[in-house]
Amino acid sequence: MSSETVLDVNAAFYRAIRRADMHAMDALWASGRAVSCTHPSGPGIRGRAAVMESWRLILEDGVALPIVPAEAQAIVTGTTAMVLCHEIIGDMVLMASNAFVLEDGRWRLINHQSAPIPGTVR
Amino acid sequence: MSSETVLDVNAAFYRAIRRADMHAMDALWASGRAVSCTHPSGPGIRGRAAVMESWRLILEDGVALPIVPAEAQAIVTGTTAMVLCHEIIGDMVLMASNAFVLEDGRWRLINHQSAPIPGTVR
């Protein structure tokens, strides 16, 4: 069992985006079950291959995304966890729900949705 | 064990909104664990009391919300499920992620986030 908490893994998720590290991103998502993802203002993406392709497009466009999580709170019950957090990108604030499951002793993402919170420009 | 599927419960969630049925809404959320909810363009709401208060404000403003789920797909693994679906409200389309757990044999919500999909006016 890893000593990583789900908040550590949530932080690693945003680090993978900041570093445009597709290898790390891939490893952060559950592999033994279906996953889903809704990027800001986008449709829902279902299935691991499609979700990974969406991240590849985001991370490989060559523009570093200075995204930082804030006020992250975890709700953990057994092998399932939700993390709610803000995502700070420059002067924009988004709200994210990230769902995790424990897979081989490590927290792995099964769903991510984030969307801008209007009127919260910093 | 109820024979309700998680898609049945997802449909019941939107029916509770359409009918402004706060009693049904309350019963649809898990009671044995923390829950969270992010309404469109809102901050993340954490904790059962705060989530229920947010629904009370939405359902008790006297305006019926003609919200209909569409293209709902469930990802079920053991006692956890995600439902992704569109939410059709008039000519607006939103994308929702709804997370459920099996509680006393019934699927109950632990997280809801929805946000508009721009450019998808019907």
Partners of residue B111 in chain A, C-beta under 8 Å: 82, 84, 97, 99
Which of A6-20, A31-45, A83-97, A108-122 is the least confident region? A108-122
List all residues 6 or more positions away from A53 whose beta carbon is below 8 Å from its beta carbon.
Answer: none
Where residue A1 falls among pLDDT bands split at 50, 70, 90?
A: very low
Average pLDDT along chain A? 90
Residues A47-59 have pLDDT tens digits of: 999 999 999 999 9
Whether the predicted interface score ipTM is above 0.95 = no
Beta carbons of B35 and A73 less than 8 Å apart: no
Both tokens assigned to B52: 């229920």
Element (H, E) at B77: strand B67-77
C-alpha–C-alpha distance, residues B99 and B37, integer Å: 10
What is the pTM for the complete model shown? 0.86
Residue A3 has pLDDT above 80, yes or no: no
pLDDT given for residue B41 in this prediction: 77
Beta carbons of B77 and A46 less than 8 Å apart: no
Tell me the mean pLDDT in the region B48-67: 89
Element (H, E) at B24: helix B22-28
Element (H, E) at A10: helix A6-18
Residue A27 has pLDDT above 70, yes or no: yes
pLDDT given for residue B1 in this prediction: 44
Short-list B76, B116, B62, B83, CA closest to B13: B83
pLDDT given for residue A95 in this prediction: 93
Tell me the mean pLDDT in the region B68-88: 91
Task: Find out whether B13 and B22 touch, Cβ atoms under 8 Å.
Answer: no
**Residue of B43, B73, B113 with shortest CB distance to A46:** B73
